[in-house]
Amino acid sequence: MATVTLKGDAARTVGELPDIGSRAPDFELVGKGLEDMTLSDFRGFTVLMNIFPSLDTPVCAMSVRRFNSESAGLPGVRVLCISADLPFAHGRFCETEGIENVVNLSSFRSPDFGMDYGVSIMDGPLRGLLARAVIVVDPDGMVVYRQLVPEISSEPDYEQVLSFLGNR
C-alpha cells in the first residue's frame, strides 16, 4: 500500500505500482467508442500510461494536453491516458481540446485495473478513483519506468519521464 496526498491530506492506494522489470499486468479498458482495449493491443510499442483521477480537474486535463503535445516527437511510443471518466467524457474532451496523439481509456468497467496497478485510491474524497501515476512498458510488456505522483493535485514529472524515453 502506498500513501499519496490530496492537498496535504493522506490517502492510501490499494497497493504499489508494478515493480521495474516485472511483466505489466494485462488489462481490459474501454475506448472512446466503447470498444474493449487491452495492453496486448499495443504489443510492439513502448507504452506510456498517464493514469489520473478525472479529466474534470485542471491538473489531469493539463497532463493529457502535455502528453498529447509531447507524444508527437516520440516515435514508437503510444500514450494511454487512463481514468475512471466515462468514454463519452474522454471523447468530448479530446474533441474540444483537439487531442489526437493519445489514446484515452476508461477504467469504469474494470476495477481490476486499479487493483493490478496499485493505483485505486482507498480512502479520502477521491476514494474509488485512480491515483496520479506514470508507467512505461517496453515493447515486450515489461515495466521499465514508474512514477507515483505523491501529491494528487500536482502534475507528473514530465521532464523525468520524457528524458527516460529519450534515453532508451
Which candidate in 55, 60, 102, 129 is catalytic?
A: 60
Known catalytic membership, residue 81: no
- Listing DSSP states for 75-144 in one string gives TTEEEEEEESS-HHHHHHHHHHHT--SEEEEE-TT-HHHHHHTT-BB-SSTTTTSBPPEEEEE-TTSBEE
Which pLDDT does position 168 carry in this prediction?
67
The structural architecture, per CATH, of the domain 3-166 is 3-Layer(aba) Sandwich (3.40)
Q: Cα separation of 37 and 131, whole Å?
A: 21
Q: Flag whether pLDDT at 153 surpasses 90.
A: yes
Q: Report the pLDDT value the prediction gives residue 46, as an integer from 0 to 100.
A: 96
- Residue 51: the pLDDT is 97
pLDDT in tens, 39-92: 999 999 999 999 999 998 888 899 999 999 988 788 999 999 999 999 999 889
Q: Using the predicted structure, report yes or no on whether residue 14 has a pLDDT greater than 80.
A: yes
Q: How high is the pLDDT of residue 60?
A: 86
Residue 5: pLDDT band with limits 50, 70, 90? confident
Task: Compute how many other C-beta atoms are within 10 angstroms of the C-beta atom of residue 88.
Answer: 11
* pTM for the predicted model, two decimal places: 0.94
Where are the domains positioned within the chain?
3-166
Q: What is the pLDDT of residues 101-114, one digit of tens each?
A: 999 999 999 989 99
Under 8 Å between Cβ of 89 and 82 = no
